[in-house]
């Protein structure tokens, strides 16, 4: 059992205060190795802020955030730099470099290491493109020529370039049509099991949530009110959960959950 | 030797068979360490030199690898010539990586063959681009004329709020920098000329020299160059970002034409503001010249001011102010022209802004030369 619950991320007594408003108040959260953890909450509940603190883009006002055992407090050390190479982030709008081709976007993190030969980089980029189910003909395109779904795939390929163990997804399916949304979800699931990834995901989309999550962390009242399997979360009698999951929208998505786990 | 956190190779060479045993961690962070790939390559070159036939006789034992990722797998795969070797032993769970590589096969990036007569294509491309710019510029000028007609017909429906905002940004907020530069140029010019004039005892002609050169030439040029750098770039960048964020498309969808609501107000604002800035720069440069004339030559302020109207005839002032308006028109049109051509990516934004400033300054200097030739008999 001890092996099962190795914590990749540990958040302890986290407070985040912007000039006048408290975003997080005494928040605790663990992310276990190999799971897909979804963060849900109303808009403005600080989901994205929490993820930004995990990857060190913002610092907590009080409390500790540890990723791979390294304290993320804004100090720059070799350990933090090494930890940084062990995670990837998929931004909500892709955040592709608009002046680089698809190929160069994915090759960028590999080239930044400055030691890999170009032919190896080429093969790896082609492999990543294949893994996110893009064609080699897409490699020469510019980000402005891509559809929304393709942008997300390229961004995912770039996030996976350095073979991360931990992947952050910010609204992975926002802005996609149902079909590409579904294929992106199945892509994430395939990659997660093939590469043994740990995934932390922010999402509003209930279908995605129930399809993927091993555990769901609900952010409300400035802290995590529950972090458990989807079924246990649904059983909690809390007004936010009732309205978020058990509305008409939720009922439809629930059928997916029941189909998946009979 | 058997460090478990780094990639290691153990090579055993018998008479016939060579066995290569890999252990440790073969992941990107380890392999990317400086010099590591070279080191491994050197070790393997050793194998190849010993076994100068082919790879088939080499026994590969990768079962000692504790962690392997796609980079490590790809490294071996390339080593084997992109096919699995005859004798291979893999670690637990590592076969999936190689299966994926085998499935992908050899995918090359499609490279178009190099063109013959590439310089001819480049020349042709440059010509087409140039003519495209010229046509675009003329079209914009035509659209501007139509929009101006529309404005004269229905003056109350004009974009006056935008015009006044632009006059404020382009004109009022540029007063400080134009004053500073104008004053300093006046001081420099006056000191330099007074040195020469004193040699000939022609001290009082400092007023003629300063007055004529500042009001006729330097004032409009200084103002135009400063405004081209300051406001021309701002207009181009603003329109470019509107392209990137699709605001330009949104305007068209709502039936708001770009010419009437974006270009016309900016052109009008610059045509109104530039002559005023030219006068302001003239005044500041003359004050600078006056101050240093008093220091260097001892000319009193009242003498300077009283002599000025006689030294510089009125047409010179009108010429300077008129040039200001013409330069304003050129700067605004160039800035809008480049701004609307920016493509939605970051490189194009930078290139467009640079091209806009360089072109507008060049155009201003060209136009100044034309003015100098056309009006060579006026006011002198």
DSSP line for A124-142: HHHHHHHHTT--GGGGG--
In 3D space, the residue among A26, A18, A67 whose CA is nearest the CA of residue A198 turns out to be: A67
- Quick check: B108 and A136 CB within 8 A? yes
- All residues of chain B having their beta carbon less than 8 Å from the beta carbon of residue A113 are 28, 32
Distance CA A166, CA A195 (A): 10
Compare A56 and B16 and report the one with higher pLDDT. Answer: A56
Q: Is A48 exposed, middle or buried (0-12, 13-18, 19+ CB in 10 A)?
A: middle
Distance CA B209, CA B196 (A): 12
User: A135 and chain B: CB distance < 8 Å anywhere?
Assistant: no
Interface subset of A 170-199, CB within 8 angstroms of B: 194
Residues in chain A: 262
Give the residue on B whose Cα is nearest the Cα of A130. Answer: B104
- Quick check: A115 and B100 CB within 8 A? no
**Which domains are delineated in chain B?**
8-104 (3.30.750.24), 159-374 (no CATH)
- All residues of chain A having their beta carbon less than 8 Å from the beta carbon of residue B29 are 82, 85-86, 162
- Quick check: A124 and B31 CB within 8 A? no
Give the residue on B whose Cα is nearest the Cα of A145. Answer: B344
- All residues of chain A having their beta carbon less than 8 Å from the beta carbon of residue B34 are 115
Intra-chain end-to-end CA distance of chain B, in Å: 91
- All residues of chain B having their beta carbon less than 8 Å from the beta carbon of residue A144 are 343-345
Interface subset of A 41-80, CB within 8 angstroms of B: none
Do B77 and B95 meet the contact criterion of CB atoms below 8 Å apart? no
Read off φ and ψ for residue B311, nearest 5 degrees: -75, -35
Evaluate if residue A149 carries a pLDDT over 70: yes
Q: Which of A86, A117, A122 sits opposite B37 (nearest CB)?
A: A117
Q: Where are the alpha helices (DSSP H) in chain B?
A: 28-31, 36-50, 70-79, 95-104, 118-153, 160-170, 175-200, 206-212, 219-227, 233-244, 247-253, 258, 264-297, 301-311, 314-340, 346-374
Evaluate if residue A86 carries a pLDDT over 80: yes
Tokens representing residue B361 in the block: 């300054």
- All residues of chain B having their beta carbon less than 8 Å from the beta carbon of residue A119 are 78
Q: Which of B27, B33, B107 sits opposite A163 (nearest CB)?
A: B27
Give the residue on B whose Cα is nearest the Cα of A87. Answer: B29
Domain ranges across chain A: 98-163
Our CA-based measurement puts residue A25 at a distance from the nearest CA of chain B, in whole angstroms, of 36
Long-range CB pairs of B86-90, under 8 A, 24+ apart, other chains included: B86/B56, B87/B58, B87/B59, B87/B60, B88/B60, B88/B62, B89/B59, B89/B60, B89/B61, B89/B62, B89/B63, B90/B62, B90/B63
Q: How many cross-chain Cβ pairs, A to B, lie less than 8 Å apart? A: 75
Q: Distances in Å between the alpha carbon of B218 and those of B173, B179, B221, B223, B278?
A: 21, 13, 5, 8, 9
Interface subset of B 110-149, CB within 8 angstroms of A: 110
Structure confidence at residue B134 (pLDDT): 94
- Quick check: A115 and B74 CB within 8 A? no
Structure confidence at residue A256 (pLDDT): 64
Structure confidence at residue A1 (pLDDT): 37
- All residues of chain B having their beta carbon less than 8 Å from the beta carbon of residue A131 are 100
Q: What is the DSSP string of B233-302?
A: HHHHHHHHHHHHTTHHHHHHHTT--HIIIIIHHHHHHHHHHHHHHHHHHHHHHHHHHHHHHHHHH---HH
Read off φ and ψ for residue B89, nearest 5 degrees: -130, 125
Do B239 and B262 meet the contact criterion of CB atoms below 8 Å apart? yes
User: B69 and chain A: CB distance < 8 Å anywhere?
Assistant: yes
Q: Point out which residues pair with B60 in neighbouring strands.
A: B20, B88
Helix (H) or strand (E) holding B62: strand B58-68
Average pLDDT per run of 10 along chain B, which is 380 residues long? 69 73 82 81 72 65 82 83 79 79 71 80 93 94 93 90 93 94 95 90 88 94 95 94 89 87 94 96 95 90 92 92 96 95 87 95 96 88
Q: Which of A97, A119, A127 sits opposite B70 (nearest CB)?
A: A127
User: B5 and chain A: CB distance < 8 Å anywhere?
Assistant: no
- Quick check: A116 and B109 CB within 8 A? no
Mean pLDDT of A109-125: 86
Tokens representing residue B302 in the block: 């009242």
ipTM over 0.90: no
Structure confidence at residue A136 (pLDDT): 83
Our CA-based measurement puts residue B94 at a distance from the nearest CA of chain A, in whole angstroms, of 11
- All residues of chain A having their beta carbon less than 8 Å from the beta carbon of residue B101 are 127
- Quick check: B345 and A142 CB within 8 A? yes
- Quick check: B37 and A143 CB within 8 A? no
- Quick check: B75 and A120 CB within 8 A? yes
Q: Which of A85, A124, A143 sits opposite B70 (nearest CB)?
A: A124
Read off φ and ψ for residue B356, nearest 5 degrees: -60, -50
Distance CA A189, CA A254 (A): 18
Contacts of A14 (CB under 8 A, 6+ apart): A24, A26, A27, A28, A53, A60, A62, A63, A64, A65
For B296, how many CA atoms within 13 A lie in the half-sphere containing its CB? Answer: 22
Please report, rounded to a whole number, the percentage of residues in chain A having pLDDT higher than 90: 6
Our CA-based measurement puts residue A145 at a distance from the nearest CA of chain B, in whole angstroms, of 10
Mean pLDDT of A67-80: 78
User: B28 and chain A: CB distance < 8 Å anywhere?
Assistant: yes
- Quick check: A144 and B78 CB within 8 A? no
Read off φ and ψ for residue B66, nearest 5 degrees: -85, -40
A7-11, A258-262, B260-264, B301-305: which range is least confident on average? A258-262
Read off φ and ψ for residue A21, nearest 5 degrees: -115, 140
Handedness of CA A121, A101, B236, A92 (dihedral sign): negative
Q: Which of A98, A115, A142 sits opposite B37 (nearest CB)?
A: A115
Interface subset of B 332-351, CB within 8 angstroms of A: 343-348
The helix/strand count (H/E) of chain A reads as 10, 10
Mean pLDDT in chain A? 83
Q: Which of A115, A123, A130 sits opposite B34 (nearest CB)?
A: A115
Our CA-based measurement puts residue B32 at a distance from the nearest CA of chain A, in whole angstroms, of 6
């Amino acid at each position: 059992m001890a092996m099962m619950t190795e914590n990749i991320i540990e958040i302890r007594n986290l407070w985040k205060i912007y000039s006048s408003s408290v975003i997080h108040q005494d928040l605790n959260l663990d992310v276990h190795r190999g799971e897909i953890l979804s963060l849900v909450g109303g808009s403005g509940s600080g989901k994205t802020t929490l993820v930004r603190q995990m990857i060190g883009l913002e610092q907590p006002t009080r409390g500790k955030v540890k990723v791979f055992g390294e304290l993320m407090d804004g100090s720059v050390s070799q350990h933090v730099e090494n930890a940084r190479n062990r995670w990837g982030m998929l931004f909500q709008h892709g955040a592709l470099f608009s002046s680089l081709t698809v190929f160069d976007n994915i090759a960028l993190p590999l080239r930044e290491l400055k030691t890999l030969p170009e032919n190896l980089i080429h093969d790896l980029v082609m492999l990543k493109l294949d893994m996110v189910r893009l064609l080699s003909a897409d490699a020469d395109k510019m980000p402005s020529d891509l559809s929304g779904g393709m942008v997300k795939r390229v961004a995912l390929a770039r996030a996976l370039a350095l073979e991360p163990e931990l992947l952050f997804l910010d609204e992975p399916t926002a802005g996609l049509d149902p079909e590409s949304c579904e294929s992106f979800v199945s892509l994430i699931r395939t990659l997660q099991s093939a590469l043994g990834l740990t995934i932390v995901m922010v999402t509003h989309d209930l279908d995605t949530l129930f399809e993927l999550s091993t555990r769901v962390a609900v952010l409300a009242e400035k802290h995590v009110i529950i972090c458990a399997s989807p079924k246990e979360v649904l059983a909690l009698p809390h007004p936010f959960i009732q309205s978020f999951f058990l509305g008409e929208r939720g009922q439809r998505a629930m059928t997916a959950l029941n189909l998946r786990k009979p | 030797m058997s460090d478990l956190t780094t990639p290691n190779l153990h090579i055993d060479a018998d008479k016939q068979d060579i066995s290569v045993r890999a252990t440790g961690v073969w992941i990107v962070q380890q392999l990317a360490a400086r010099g590591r790939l070279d080191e491994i390559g050197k070790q393997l070159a050793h194998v190849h030199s010993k076994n100068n036939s082919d790879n088939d006789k080499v026994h590969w034992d990768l079962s000692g690898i504790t962690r392997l990722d796609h980079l490590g797998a790809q490294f071996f795969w390339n080593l084997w010539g992109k096919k699995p070797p005859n004798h291979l032993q893999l670690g637990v769970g590592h076969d999936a990586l190689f299966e994926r590589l085998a499935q992908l096969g050899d995918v090359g990036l499609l490279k178009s063959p190099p063109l013959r007569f590439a310089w001819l294509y480049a020349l042709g491309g440059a010509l087409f681009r140039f003519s495209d710019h010229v046509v675009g510029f003329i079209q914009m000028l035509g659209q501007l004329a139509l929009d101006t007609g529309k404005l004269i017909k229905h003056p109350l429906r004009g974009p006056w709020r935008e015009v006044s905002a632009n006059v404020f940004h382009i004109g009022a907020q540029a007063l400080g920098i134009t004053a500073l530069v104008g004053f300093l140029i006046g001081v420099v010019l006056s000191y330099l000329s007074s040195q020469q004039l004193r040699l000939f005892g022609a001290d009082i002609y400092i007023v003629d020299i300063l007055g004529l050169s500042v009001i006729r030439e330097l004032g409009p040029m200084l103002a135009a160059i400063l405004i081209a750098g300051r406001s021309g770039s701002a207009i181009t960048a603003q329109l470019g970002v509107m392209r990137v964020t699709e605001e330009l498309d949104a305007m068209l969808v709502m039936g708001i034409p770009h010419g009437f609501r974006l270009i016309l107000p900016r052109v009008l604002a610059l045509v109104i503001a530039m002559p005023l800035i030219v006068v302001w720069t003239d005044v500041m440069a003359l004050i600078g010249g006056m101050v240093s004339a008093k220091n260097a030559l001892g000319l009193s302020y009242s003498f300077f001011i009283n002599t000025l109207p006689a030294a510089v005839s009125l047409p010179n002032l009108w010429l300077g102010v008129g040039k200001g308006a013409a330069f304003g028109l050129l700067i605004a049109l160039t800035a809008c022209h480049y701004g609307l051509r920016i493509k939605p990516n970051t490189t194009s934004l930078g290139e467009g802004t640079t091209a806009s400033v360089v072109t507008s300054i060049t155009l201003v200097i060209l136009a100044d030369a034309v003015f100098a030739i056309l009006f060579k008999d006026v006011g002198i």
